């Protein structure tokens, strides 16, 4: 493995994402690219000033300093690394950067939003998984309580020959 692209959004899962990147870099002797995409601000038709966003110059510069600081924390562990912060429409810019960098693997965090959130606002993770030709390691956010997962994987019986016979004529092999 040569290039590990790490997508940084400064969320609660960022530290876990960096831990995965560190481990992967050590085991593969790969170079790490920390990428933060600053989304362009949508024009709002409101009568009051919107809160500061990443595209505000002060916030943009603060995010750049944070990105460099994250990079420096990995460099202390011997990781070969560069940081990159770009601004643009989030998904388009992110996919363009993936194309340009051509990483061997992408590491990103998942925020654990529910299906309703994904339906309403979309999921950056889902878009990257759909469009990236490289493997994507999705690091889940840490559970804050001891509730069991909503879905548990269970062992299943092999598909019966009767069921396989009913699959005849489908466009994929049984």
3-142 fold:
Rossmann fold (3.40.50)
Q: Quick one: angle between helices 90-101 and 124-131, nearest 10?
A: 40
Q: What is the mean pLDDT of each run of 10 residues along the chain (174 residues)?
A: 92 91 94 92 43 66 92 94 93 95 95 56 79 92 55 45 47 47
Residue bearing tokens 């998904």: 91
Q: Which tokens is 67 given?
A: 């990105």
Give the pLDDT confidence score for residue 103 in this predicted structure.
Answer: 98
Give the pLDDT confidence score for residue 119 in this predicted structure.
Answer: 53
> The sheet that has 81-88: what strands, in order across it?
81-88, 31-39, 3-7, 105-110, 136-140
Is the pTM higher than 0.75? The answer reads no
Whole-Å CA distances, 91 to 39, 97, 138:
9, 10, 17
């Amino acid at each position: 493995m040569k290039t590990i692209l790490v997508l940084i959004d400064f969320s609660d899962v960022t530290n876990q994402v960096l831990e995965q990147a560190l481990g992967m870099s050590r085991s593969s002797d790969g170079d790490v690219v920390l990428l933060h995409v600053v989304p362009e601000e949508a024009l709002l038709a409101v009568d009051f000033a919107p809160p500061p966003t990443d595209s505000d110059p002060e916030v943009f510069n603060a995010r750049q300093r944070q990105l460099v600081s994250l990079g420096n924390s990995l460099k202390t562990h011997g990781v070969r690394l560069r940081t990159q912060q770009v601004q643009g429409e989030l998904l388009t810019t992110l996919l363009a950067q993936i194309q340009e960098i051509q990483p061997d693997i992408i590491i990103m965090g998942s925020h654990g939003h529910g299906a309703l959130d994904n339906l309403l606002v979309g999921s950056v993770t889902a878009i990257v998984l759909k469009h990236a030709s490289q493997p994507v390691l999705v690091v889940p956010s840490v559970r804050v309580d001891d509730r069991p997962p909503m879905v548990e994987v269970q062992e299943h019986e092999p598909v019966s020959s009767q069921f396989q016979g009913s699959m005849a004529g489908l466009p994929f092999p049984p």
